[in-house]
Structure 1
Amino acid sequence: MASACALEWVPDSLFNTAVTAIVTYYSKHRKELKALPENVQFDIYYKGTLLVCGSVTAIVTYYSKHRKELKALPENVQFDIYYKLYNKGRLCQLGQEFSELDTFAKVLKVNDKRHLLHHCFQALMDHGVHVSSILADTFYRQYTPLLCENTFERERAIQLGFSLGGFLNDAGWIKDSERVFVSCLHLCRMEDNPAGWCRALECCVRLFHVRNVNCTYEAAELSCREAEKIVQQLASCGISVNKATLYAERCALLFAKSQYDEAYKYCCMALHEITYSMSAKAIVDVLRQCSKACVVKREFVKAEVLIRQAVHFAKENFGVQHPKYSDALLDYGFYLLNVDSISAAVHVYQTALDIRQAVFGGNNLHMAIAHEDLAYASYVHEYSSGKFKDARDHAEKAIEIIGHILPEDHLLLSSSKRVKALILEEIAIDTHVKETGDQLLHDAQDLHLQSLALAKKAFGENNVQTAKHYGNLGRLYQSMHRYQEAEEMHLKAIEIKERLLGAEDYEVALSVGHLASLYNYDMEKYEEAEKLYLRSISIGKKLFGDGYSGLEYDYRGLMRLYQNEGDFVSMEKYRQVLQEWSQIRDVHNSKDEKPLDFAPLLKLLDMIQQYFG
């Protein structure tokens, strides 16, 4: 090898030849390379990059010829070749490679290019290559207890299962992720010792999570019970494990079932288990779920602190274009919507959707959820303006995606159909063509009834989600001039909500206000309507203050009521109250934009100690 000094004086052509030679025999000359001048070292590194890129392009160009040799290349080089196939639109060849579990197992090891893998994977799914189910089926058949009696093979299979199941979950293919984790759990159960129990516990918690996401709550309950049994089994041997993620998933299950008191209890238990030794992903997920539990308990200060921590932690550890950051933003939007910061919620939901579009795109469950959240926030934001086009577009997109991926009776469709029904009802009220309005109301009724049936099937009659659907039907029947049925629906909703949430809950106030509107505008039950309006106002001001957006409709309702009764003194009183409210609301709206670049108020563990100690 030429000396550093000699290389500085050779002609350019010889210099380039020398650099190429060094790159070609890089492993042999790596030590001598360190003694070269910095600019020469840079040229060698740059030349190496060009050679690799050139090799990738050449292999892709002659892919069929070199496919066998491809398997011997390092994982990161293989990935670059596959991504090149994706960029050139050669999805059939890419699908052939990714449908082989051994090949995809290697690709999963390239962690620093995971976002690019999501692009490839989603493109294949959109193209009709069902690579998700192919991989899950292959894993299920290839790694059974009978075929994995060897401890080493079993350990290798479990690790692959965790990696594959986790990726499919992150990519939005929940059912296939569940199948992989079920297979893993069978393998974990084969080892009746503490190490095997720990792996089984981890698998149970992962399975618990995907079943929660998939809304298969009975199966989720089974996973939870098995996980809790393993925790007790380990404790009997003197082994203590961190239970933060288990408690957070238990919180999520109870939250979905509208058992908010119990959900909040497990939220506090999960937070007390958090340590900095947990993965960043686990910490973010625990904080997110606990924030939601605080929101529904109207513990807004605690909820804000938790979700600020989650957003900041996700940003610091994953960056602003990562799915985990968008997850945190969706729950931040949920918080903002519930504290009446509507325009800020719309902005945050749009940002989360944009991130998911960049990462996934296409017909993806994560995209559907983001579309639905933005649809509802946009509906609330534009309620007074009547401009529902964007809200309707997002709701229909959510339904289209979910209907493409999941069975027609899946619970996730219940929420999306409910949102679209609410939007159609408002559009129908504003239309001047009777036939069009009637058809829109009929379509909304069909959607509401479908949503109610799905909710009752999943949760039963005695549930807040079911009560919400009754309330929605009550509003719709009022718009359809079916007043007796509307009253029946509202009374059902109020009875269930009061019994489950208490008389002073926000959900109760919503239903009370809707029944007041029915009595006031359509049934001339003014005395009952007045009491209900005042009750709704009292709860709203207690929870959200004098600038709460929902107060406008109660104040206007009272003004109309007093006008019809000839009580002009009371009518003038509430006209002035409405003016004062409008001024407060203007100030509120001017402060409504919440920043996304905030730092947490306190360090994580300090925050937990202060707010949940």
Structure 2
Amino acid sequence: MAIKPAPVPSLYECSVTAVAKYYNYFKRDLRDLPETILFDVYMNLYNQNKSCILVVEFGDLDVFSKLLKITNSRVMLIKCFQALQCHGTSLAYDLAQSYKIKAFYCQEKYCVSLKDSTIDIGIRLGGFLIDTGWFLESITVLTKCKELCLTLADNLPAWKKILECCHKLLHAETIYSQFDTAILTKKLAEETVQKLKRSGEHLCFAGIYTQFSIHAFYLSNYQLAYEWSAMAVQELSPNSCSRVTVETLSQASKSCVVKREFRLAQALVRLAVYLAGETFGHQHLKYADALRDYGFYLLNSDSMKDSVTVYQKALKLKKAIYGDKNLHVAALKEDLAYALYVHEYSSGRFNTASHHASQAIETFSKLLPEGHLMLASAHRVKALILEEIALDHMSQYMETQSKLLGEAERLHQNALRLCLAAFGEDNVQTAKHYGNLGRLYQSMKKYQEAEQMHLKAIEIKERLLGPDDYEVGLSVGHLASLYNYHMEEYRKAEKLYFRSINISLKLFSETYSGLEYDYRGLVHVYTHLGEMENAHDYKVTIDRWKTLREEHESKERAPLEHHEPSCSLATIQESMMNVERPLLLP
């Protein structure tokens, strides 16, 4: 077989390589080159491992702001920037501080064009720092940018800049758990939206409505998140920005998942994945983001194996761009760890899940201040895994078991403390942590404490989500298990199992995986009550469930084999048309 000769580099490529090779001779004149040429020279330096040169060049805000104008090679710039950050540099911090100084001096001047250009730099830099996972530095930049925006004349161009800045700032503050300042940013954004609407200017508000949805979602206000997402989806059109469209559809899918609108969630996320792949390509970060939200849908719709597959693909894509020292990667490792924990729950093979959870915690601990809320969820996942590993140890390893359970309790308690500090008692996340402690105390044979935790979790969830929500059913099932297997309160357990089963059947179907635990629980209940006919009936029910489950799984296709979306945007918009709308500030 003939070997194809290597492609001959073009004259332009040879020129760029030569300039990069002899950088010291040309560095005084480089910054006067057009942005595209300058970008290519720097990427050539990156490929030659000239990190020291790049740190100096990228650390200059005026130079870096030129590179931010190159949008068609964004992933390459992110990869280069992140590689420099991983080498121990403080580029993100240095650029944020440089922008603070620039914005401060600009704020004292009355030159509108200078303010406009500085605001544009802030919006681009803040957005880039969000994309690279440096949220605190992004908040620094965008906060100063917002302050500068508010010094502009009260007119249409200024409102547009304020809204664009608020869009990014609200996202960074929400993801980074700065909820107090996020509320103020959201209020300013709402006021600005009203001004723009009154101006008569026809604008697409899908992006900012999606940020409102994300903010509500993080606060566990799922109904409001759903309503904002419905509004955002209605704002979309074939001419909408591709990035905004994918983000809007993905967030709307997540909002539908927590509202248990699974068919709509599936249509939304598959369209998002399809559009992300078609528009940005299958190696792009937006595609990885869409896959992450697809994994969330699959995990919550009882397709755990497929969820693991999709999360693994998303993690592989993000690691190739960010490396390991990154908050985006750590968050995905946490997602994958939990998916693996759920998927392998019956097998007891938790090594891989434990590895990813530990790596996520390690990265969060290095990149976040002590006591940051982002650690709470990772601690929760690690604690759940440790509990199951402990239960797999036989009696001869009681010392190891006790140590693992003690570590799990420490992690759960820490997660609860962080959640209480951020959200207070009346929050779904707080309730989840109470429920997790209830399960752990059950494993530790602290049955009274376990009952108190489960009852507390159920009370909060019922009050916030209603009596028939999935989360309520989950906690009810756990309390039933406690009464059944440890406290011999069989009639209480029977009643709770029936309630859990009814919730599962209402939300899912007869093939739902969680039904097996409730059916087996009822067999145990009736066996100990001496009601053998009832016990036999539920053994038959389990056999029937297994048959239905196998048939269901045999019909499923691999999650990424769906090349075409199942619904069009217009069909989805029609489905969401009658969702109640949240009120904007007057």
State the TM-score, normalized to the length of structure 2.
0.93
Deviation at 1:48, TM superposition (A): 9.8
Residue type matched to 1:341 in 2?
S
Give the alignment partner of residue 264 of structure 1, picking from 221, 226, 232: 226
- Equivalent-residue separation in structure 2 for 1:260 and 1:300 (angstroms): 14
Is the counterpart of residue 95 in structure 1 residue 59 in structure 2? Answer: no
Match of 1:136 in 2: 96
- Equivalent-residue separation in structure 1 for 2:83 and 2:325 (angstroms): 9
The question of whether the paired residues in 1 share the 8 Å contact of 2:230 and 2:576 is answered with no
Residue type matched to 2:315 in 1?
L
The question of whether the paired residues in 1 share the 8 Å contact of 2:315 and 2:332 is answered with yes
- Equivalent-residue separation in structure 2 for 1:543 and 1:48 (angstroms): 60
**Count of equivalent residues:** 568
Deviation at 1:330, TM superposition (A): 0.9
Quick one: higher RCO (CA 8 Å, sep 6+), 1 or 2?
2
Residue type matched to 2:333 in 1?
H
CA 78–388 in structure 1, closer or farther in 2 if over 3 Å, else same: same
Is the counterpart of residue 570 in structure 1 residue 534 in structure 2? Answer: yes
Deviation at 1:411, TM superposition (A): 1.1
- Equivalent-residue separation in structure 2 for 1:559 and 1:481 (angstroms): 22
Residue 328 of structure 1: SS of its match in structure 2?
helix
CA 129–596 in structure 1, closer or farther in 2 if over 3 Å, else same: farther
Residue 278 of structure 1: SS of its match in structure 2?
coil
The question of whether the paired residues in 2 share the 8 Å contact of 1:231 and 1:241 is answered with no
Match of 1:185 in 2: 146
- Equivalent-residue separation in structure 1 for 2:55 and 2:483 (angstroms): 61
The question of whether the paired residues in 1 share the 8 Å contact of 2:257 and 2:300 is answered with yes
Match of 1:29 in 2: none
Deviations 1:419-447 (A, max 9, x none): 11100000000012111111111111011
- Equivalent-residue separation in structure 1 for 2:260 and 2:7 (angstroms): 60
Match of 1:426 in 2: 388
CA 148–276 in structure 1, closer or farther in 2 if over 3 Å, else same: farther
The question of whether the paired residues in 1 share the 8 Å contact of 2:123 and 2:164 is answered with no
Deviation at 1:311, TM superposition (A): 1.1
CA 195–77 in structure 1, closer or farther in 2 if over 3 Å, else same: closer
The question of whether the paired residues in 1 share the 8 Å contact of 2:386 and 2:405 is answered with yes
Is the counterpart of residue 199 in structure 1 residue 161 in structure 2? Answer: yes
Deviation at 1:234, TM superposition (A): 3.2
Task: Specify every segment of 5 or more residues in structure 2 that has no aligned partner in the other structure, as ranges.
Answer: 1-5, 579-586
Match of 2:122 in 1: 161
The question of whether the paired residues in 2 share the 8 Å contact of 1:122 and 1:362 is answered with no
Deviation at 1:147, TM superposition (A): 5.0
Deviation at 1:215, TM superposition (A): 1.6
Deviation at 1:236, TM superposition (A): 4.0
The question of whether the paired residues in 2 share the 8 Å contact of 1:184 and 1:203 is answered with yes
Is the counterpart of residue 603 in structure 1 residue 568 in structure 2? Answer: yes
Give the alignment partner of residue 275 of structure 1, picking from 237, 253, 258: 237
- Equivalent-residue separation in structure 1 for 2:231 and 2:511 (angstroms): 34
Of 60-69 and 423-432, deviating more is 60-69
The question of whether the paired residues in 1 share the 8 Å contact of 2:99 and 2:141 is answered with yes
Match of 1:252 in 2: 214
The question of whether the paired residues in 1 share the 8 Å contact of 2:510 and 2:545 is answered with yes
Give the alignment partner of residue 506 of structure 1, picking from 470, 475, 478: 470
Residue type matched to 1:280 in 2?
S
Is the counterpart of residue 489 in structure 1 residue 453 in structure 2? Answer: yes
Deviation at 1:81, TM superposition (A): 2.7
Match of 1:106 in 2: 66
Deviation at 1:382, TM superposition (A): 0.1
CA 499–146 in structure 1, closer or farther in 2 if over 3 Å, else same: closer
Deviations 1:333-357 (A, max 9, x none): 1111111011111111111111111
Match of 2:509 in 1: 545
Match of 2:192 in 1: 230
Match of 2:12 in 1: 52
- Equivalent-residue separation in structure 1 for 2:71 and 2:259 (angstroms): 38
Match of 1:382 in 2: 344
Task: Specify every segment of 5 or more residues in structure 1 that has no aligned partner in the other structure, as ranges.
Answer: 1-45
- Equivalent-residue separation in structure 2 for 1:233 and 1:572 (angstroms): 67
Give the alignment partner of residue 171 of structure 1, picking from 124, 128, 132: 132
Residue type matched to 1:436 in 2?
T
Deviation at 1:61, TM superposition (A): 3.3
Match of 2:174 in 1: 212
- Equivalent-residue separation in structure 1 for 2:230 and 2:392 (angstroms): 46
Match of 2:492 in 1: 528
Residue 177 of structure 2: SS of its match in structure 1?
coil
Is the counterpart of residue 312 in structure 1 residue 274 in structure 2? Answer: yes
Of 333-342 and 185-194, deviating more is 185-194
The question of whether the paired residues in 1 share the 8 Å contact of 2:477 and 2:518 is answered with yes
- Equivalent-residue separation in structure 2 for 1:149 and 1:393 (angstroms): 55
Residue 73 of structure 1: SS of its match in structure 2?
coil
Residue 128 of structure 1: SS of its match in structure 2?
coil
Residue 112 of structure 1: SS of its match in structure 2?
coil
* RMSD, matched Cα: 1.8
CA 507–610 in structure 1, closer or farther in 2 if over 3 Å, else same: closer
The question of whether the paired residues in 2 share the 8 Å contact of 1:258 and 1:465 is answered with yes
- Equivalent-residue separation in structure 2 for 1:347 and 1:326 (angstroms): 13
Match of 1:456 in 2: 420
The question of whether the paired residues in 1 share the 8 Å contact of 2:58 and 2:64 is answered with yes
CA 75–236 in structure 1, closer or farther in 2 if over 3 Å, else same: closer
Residue type matched to 2:415 in 1?
S
Of 330-339 and 238-247, deviating more is 238-247
Of 367-376 and 76-85, deviating more is 76-85
Deviations 1:276-313 (A, max 9, x none): 33211111111111111111111111111111121111
CA 58–237 in structure 1, closer or farther in 2 if over 3 Å, else same: closer
State the TM-score, normalized to the length of structure 1.
0.89
Of 285-294 and 380-389, deviating more is 285-294
Q: Which has the larger radius of gyration?
A: 1
Deviations 1:504-527 (A, max 9, x none): 111111101111111111111111
Residue type matched to 1:434 in 2?
M
Residue type matched to 1:177 in 2?
S
- Equivalent-residue separation in structure 1 for 2:300 and 2:552 (angstroms): 15
- Equivalent-residue separation in structure 1 for 2:7 and 2:504 (angstroms): 67
Deviation at 1:237, TM superposition (A): 3.9
- Equivalent-residue separation in structure 2 for 1:112 and 1:426 (angstroms): 46
Match of 2:3 in 1: none
Deviations 1:355-414 (A, max 9, x none): 111222121111011111111111000000000111111111111111111112111111
Is the counterpart of residue 364 in structure 1 residue 329 in structure 2? Answer: no
Match of 1:9 in 2: none
Deviations 1:464-509 (A, max 9, x none): 1100000000000001111100000000001111111111111111
CA 246–50 in structure 1, closer or farther in 2 if over 3 Å, else same: closer
Deviation at 1:104, TM superposition (A): 1.0
- Equivalent-residue separation in structure 1 for 2:68 and 2:246 (angstroms): 22
Of 105-114 and 548-557, deviating more is 105-114
CA 94–155 in structure 1, closer or farther in 2 if over 3 Å, else same: same
Match of 1:594 in 2: 559
- Equivalent-residue separation in structure 1 for 2:58 and 2:298 (angstroms): 41
Deviation at 1:148, TM superposition (A): 4.6
- Equivalent-residue separation in structure 2 for 1:276 and 1:139 (angstroms): 36
Is the counterpart of residue 346 in structure 1 residue 305 in structure 2? Answer: no
Deviation at 1:47, TM superposition (A): 11
Residue 320 of structure 1: SS of its match in structure 2?
coil
Give the alignment partner of residue 444 of structure 1, picking from 396, 405, 408: 408
Match of 2:584 in 1: none
Deviations 1:94-145 (A, max 9, x none): 1111111111122222322222212211111111111011111101101224
